Structure 1
């Protein structure tokens, strides 16, 4: 009896994403280095001055790391409760942070004891930042107020209570030391001017605002909250320019890269997305847990991401020196020679060759096909991981069933769950040019078998109707393509030179015009 031949899965060309310069630039990072912190990492910020150390705020500690260090260079642990919003001054020498106690502490980066302690907030201070002059600090608190403090004297200079909910985002202007932006859970973003004594512009984000940032020109501002990232034009009175909806969960943080000011956003859906100047996603970084904080080094060499599980993920850019070092390493060790020993040996004329029978390994669907369980074989190829990762296997089994003449038997007699899975697979892949030809035949059989079956569930009816619409649209497209092919055949035939006539023959319309002119 002949042995069973496994189902031959056809190799289809992969439909890869379009590779651009932005894609290559943002894929040029090494595997992430993971550092375990003491709690959820709520804030990361890089120093604007070389060597671009970065401060990490997590639990009751604020720690300073070097760009290539896995151990903190400096730790500030003078907090009795959770610390928030660690932020550098422009010269990288001072550090300010809020806390759950409502206190704001100012640290010297080379010391350990707080230089100043600002008291005045009655609730937790989640965000702090230096104004661009370096002599004042702005803070936002859960007591609904944002306040400006004098660094030298430690006194409060101004207080604004225009927000009606928690203030969780602050961004200071680098061009004007009297301007800063705040974002609140009351769904608003406000631009404050210390000289005026209040806000000069208000924008409605529509969701609780988690972060705000200003572009270097400060003509544009970005706010994140809910699933949305919104870009505002400050020169036009806070007019909304773009709304981005690329995340599936709350967008918690955003930052800008040095190269062309590319926008990066992090979300609770565990993704960091990179946008180009047209606000199209050019790259996505995946992480193991929800993202709370994100920052990029001023030279784009390091991307640091903080997550809810207390893990700090750091990615470093690849350089040509690293590639040359890898290429220069000797990969062939003595163990390599041992493993390949005899691999290239050619048998001689007098050698006696003993062949060992290798038992072929059959996939689950092949075992079921071998025992003529056609319906279960099709179900095995419709498992979630296979139909999403390798749809060509499902299509190959359908083609094999059709060749055997048992495809209709495999499709018939299905319950609501298995029929829904089959219809979803057809709807997703029937318009794929790689699979459309065999799947059109399968779709025709499915509609013949189940379209008039009574009773049907609302889900199945809706999916069948959608499949019929796709089939109708596909038929219209093919008819239009046939018309285009007919027009092209006519044009090519009219341009083909005839025997005894040099050069192309004019189309019939042009010939008639020439005869009338003659």
Structure 2
């Protein structure tokens, strides 16, 4: 007796976004490693020098982590209140941070005690940074001022009070040691030049500014605030280049990747979005809670995200060596050796080969089809997870029933619950081009079988009415498409040049040759 052939499930192309090189690149990260901090992670910054350690600011601690360490390499806990804005110097040897107390502390990476303490702000200092010369520090505070400090003497060089609200964003130029940019809750972005003693450019963001960021060439400036990410052209006097609105909550942070300067933004809507050079979203990362901070390592090997639930999430990039190591570990397993034992043995000419029947494992709907229980097989194919996640399995069972000539029998004699499931499946998938050829026939059979049952069930009546309306709209659409196709065929036929009829004298010698030979 021939063995039972399982139902063939057709594979369909996945519907969704187009897979691009950017998508493949940003999907090539491992599952995130989560590190629990002592409070909301408000700032993450990578050292510009190898091995690219990163500093995490959370609660009353500033902690330095290695690229692959889940425990801090160094921890600074000499803060009486919340710490803010931990930032590296260009050589990665010094670290500066503000605090809720209004103090600014300077640390050596190799020590634990503050080297310098800058006093002068009257309220919390949320943002700090080194100027590119490495000898000066700039800070922004809730006392509406930003100040420049001398590292060697610990004194204040200058103070600027041009903002009218809290200063919560700051970035320093890497090309000009006298230039830095601040963003404030007064909806403005100011560009300061220390040599001129004040602001040289003011940009109107339109919302409280949470983050400012220079592109490497510093021809473009990024500002985030509200739901907007705005790009400014600094070479044209701060002209707004583009305004992006891809998040549905406040955009709190932004950073750039070293590969093609891709822009990444994080938001309170729990998403990190990646933009290409045309400022189109090419990838998105989802997280459990709202995002406060974001950073990418200079070599793009790590993506670190800080959240409001005190969790630091770190993703590492996958490498081909990792995959080879995993496959090698699998091959060394004892269960694998037992499984392949004797599989490669080739019998000799005089050997007597005894074959062993391989047990066939069938799916539940195939087992029911094997017993000719067609109605129960269709019920199994209409289970919730199959209907929503694997509709091609349900359609494959219907195709097999139609091939056997038992589809009408499987659809007949159904109660209100099973008929409701079937109608809901049709309403969702009957217009899907992958399944429409079969499901239109199924809908026709159901209407023919149950049109007399409709008055007895209000639920079935409502679903049946929706199905008939949907089929009516689909028929009208098909008729309109046929009319358009006819118009296009006529138009193409009129545009096609007519071939000239050639006389016998004008016939080609190549065409005449075989005729002469035949004669």
- Which bracket does the TM-score occupy, shorter chain normalised? 0.7 to 0.9
Bigger shift: residues 417-426 or 17-26? 417-426
Bigger Rg over Cα: 2
Structure 2 counterpart of 1:512? none
Structure 1 counterpart of 2:517? none
Q: Cα–Cα, structure 1 residues 211 and 421, in superposed 2: closer, same or farther, change >3 Å?
A: farther
Q: Cα–Cα, structure 1 residues 371 and 145, in superposed 2: closer, same or farther, change >3 Å?
A: farther
Equivalent of 2:484 in 480, 485, 495: 480
Post-superposition shift, 1:167?
2.5
Structure 2 counterpart of 1:34? 34
Structure 2 counterpart of 1:362? 364
Structure 1 counterpart of 2:175? 175
**1:423 and 1:467 in contact (8 A); partners too:** no
**2:128 and 2:138 in contact (8 A); partners too:** yes
Structure 2 counterpart of 1:425? 428
Determine the C-alpha separation between the residues in 1 that align with 2:427 and 2:176: 56
TM-score (normalizing by structure 1)? 0.75
**What secondary structure is seen at the aligned counterpart in 2 of 1:241?**
strand
Determine the C-alpha separation between the residues in 2 that align with 1:292 and 1:131: 24
Deviation digits for residues 164-195 of structure 1 (CA, Å, limit 9, x no counterpart): 3x322111122223332222333333323342
Deviation digits for residues 134-185 of structure 1 (CA, Å, limit 9, x no counterpart): 2322222233333333323333620314233x32211112222333222233
Q: Cα–Cα, structure 1 residues 285 and 333, in superposed 2: closer, same or farther, change >3 Å?
A: same
**1:193 and 1:200 in contact (8 A); partners too:** no
Q: Cα–Cα, structure 1 residues 343 and 321, in superposed 2: closer, same or farther, change >3 Å?
A: closer
Q: Cα–Cα, structure 1 residues 354 and 47, in superposed 2: closer, same or farther, change >3 Å?
A: closer
Deviation digits for residues 197-251 of structure 1 (CA, Å, limit 9, x no counterpart): 2362122244x33212111122211122333322122223332222333334332
**1:205 and 1:223 in contact (8 A); partners too:** no
**1:85 and 1:127 in contact (8 A); partners too:** yes
How do residues 164-313 of structure 1 correspond to structure 2 at under 5 angstroms?
Answer: 164=165, 166-194=166-194, 195-198=196-199, 200-206=201-207, 208-313=208-313
Post-superposition shift, 1:93?
1.7
Post-superposition shift, 1:438?
4.4
Are 1:58 and 2:58 matched, yes or no? yes
Deviation digits for residues 111-156 of structure 1 (CA, Å, limit 9, x no counterpart): 1111222223333222111222323222222333333333233336
Q: Cα–Cα, structure 1 residues 16 and 379, in superposed 2: closer, same or farther, change >3 Å?
A: closer
Post-superposition shift, 1:35?
2.8
Post-superposition shift, 1:360?
4.9
Bigger shift: residues 388-397 or 50-59? 388-397
**What secondary structure is seen at the aligned counterpart in 1 of 2:44?**
strand
Post-superposition shift, 1:294?
1.4
Post-superposition shift, 1:405?
4.2
Post-superposition shift, 1:281?
2.5
Post-superposition shift, 1:88?
0.8
Bigger shift: residues 45-54 or 283-292? 283-292
Determine the C-alpha separation between the residues in 2 that align with 1:221 and 1:237: 11
Bigger shift: residues 328-337 or 224-233? 328-337
Q: Cα–Cα, structure 1 residues 260 and 11, in superposed 2: closer, same or farther, change >3 Å?
A: closer
Post-superposition shift, 1:292?
2.0
Determine the C-alpha separation between the residues in 2 that align with 1:196 and 1:320: 53
Determine the C-alpha separation between the residues in 1 that align with 2:330 and 2:421: 53
Determine the C-alpha separation between the residues in 2 that align with 1:332 and 1:496: 75
Bigger shift: residues 391-400 or 90-99? 391-400
Determine the C-alpha separation between the residues in 2 that align with 1:354 and 1:370: 30
Q: Cα–Cα, structure 1 residues 406 and 498, in superposed 2: closer, same or farther, change >3 Å?
A: farther
**1:163 and 1:186 in contact (8 A); partners too:** yes
Determine the C-alpha separation between the residues in 2 that align with 1:330 and 1:359: 25
Deviation digits for residues 249-292 of structure 1 (CA, Å, limit 9, x no counterpart): 33221111122211112233333222211122333334344322
Matched positions, count: 493
Post-superposition shift, 1:22?
3.0
Q: Cα–Cα, structure 1 residues 441 and 48, in superposed 2: closer, same or farther, change >3 Å?
A: same
Structure 2 counterpart of 1:80? 80
Determine the C-alpha separation between the residues in 1 that align with 2:190 and 2:422: 53
Bigger shift: residues 234-243 or 371-380? 371-380
Structure 2 counterpart of 1:93? 93
Deviation digits for residues 26-48 of structure 1 (CA, Å, limit 9, x no counterpart): 33334433333222222111111
Are 1:162 and 2:156 matched, yes or no? no
TM-score (normalizing by structure 2)? 0.75
Post-superposition shift, 1:387?
5.4
Post-superposition shift, 1:104?
1.6
Unaligned runs of 5+ in 2: 509-519
RMSD (Å) for aligned C-alpha atoms: 4.9
Determine the C-alpha separation between the residues in 2 that align with 1:210 and 1:250: 9
